[in-house]
Amino acid sequence: MLIYLLRRIMQSGFVLVAMSLLVFLGVYAVGDPIEILISPDADQIEKERAIQALGLDLPLWQQYLVFVGKALQGDLGRSFVFNEPAIQLILQRMPATLELAFGSMFLSILIGLPLGLYAGLRPNGAISKGIMAGSILGFSLPTFWVGLMLIMVFAVQLGWLPSTGRGDTAMLFGISWSFLTGDGLSHILLPAINLALFKISLVIRLTRAGVRETMLMDYVKFARAKGLSPFRVTFVHVFKNILIPVVTVVGLELGGTIAFSVVTESVFAWPGMGKLIIDSINVLDRPVIVAYLMMIVLMFIVINLLVDIVYTVLDPRVRLEAKA
């Protein structure tokens, strides 16, 4: 286990270095931040001053070395437009995104698992067919459209829920959270549903497929033949075995949700990291873009590692040493 972990960490370091190079080159290839940031009536003197102030007068390889040098000391650069450390900006916005991502994951499991289980146990029932048809909608409707429709129906027409923003927040561990106040919860509900829609469908389909496959297994037949109650067969023998694919996918989806909830965050004006990154791309705030992508890479590495470890807990047959 220890050797496996060490090897994984070394691999991760290599991935990080390669990504930093790719991201840096990629960001460098897009546009000219000075043209975007500077006031259009700024003269040559002012332009030259700005280029120097932002460190854009150096050749690319020097800019990269400066970046790497600072990154090794934990400094991923300063935002061009906020004049604050990029990492601090991202961390400020992270709680909002995290609570939205976990909220939507919670919803997707809460709604997806039971529906999938039902559809798997009674594959030919009318309700099951309805569930499966609904899950197609969840897959295929574009997020931004669903988001706007949710706002139009629940905020504008019915007036039940607020349309945008985070609402009141309460402090916990020195960070503001929305889910701790009633007003905040009412604000988080619509964006969380919007973000969860795709994942609910995914969980439903995975669960249903898993249940249908597992039901045919010998050990399930044996358990039934032994006279165990259908409840025990379903929730002990079947349920535990279908969880592995579900955990994998939900884990990876969580990473994707944290990293790329851009659309939902802009539609609901949710002040999270997704909104920060899209605003930063619009003004070519290179340090923030680079820092953000580096953090996302790191996060995916960690999530994958955690998923591997959860496997061993769920399924004693999986040995990490063997897998590596």
Which residues of the chain form contacts with other proteins (CB under 8 A)?
A: 30-47, 49-50, 53-54, 78, 80-84, 89, 92-93, 148, 151-152, 155-156, 159, 162-166, 266-269, 271, 275-276, 279, 281-284
Least distance (Å) between residue 287 CB and other proteins:
11
Q: Report in angstroms how near the CB of residue 96 gets to other proteins at its nearest.
A: 8
Q: Which of 41, 218 has the CB closer to other proteins?
A: 41
Residue 172 CB, shortest distance to other proteins, in Å, is: 17
Q: Whole-number minimum distance, CB 183 to other proteins, in Å?
A: 12
Is residue 184 packed enough to be buried (19+ CB in 10 Å), middle (13-18) or exposed (0-12)?
Answer: buried
Q: Tell me whether residue 166 or residue 237 sits nearer to other proteins (CB atom).
A: 166
Residue with Cβ nearer other proteins (281 or 318): 281
- CB closer to other proteins out of 21 and 36: 36
Output 15 or 148, the one with its CB closest to other proteins.
148
Token pair for 126: 């009318």
CB of 155 to other proteins, least distance (A): 4
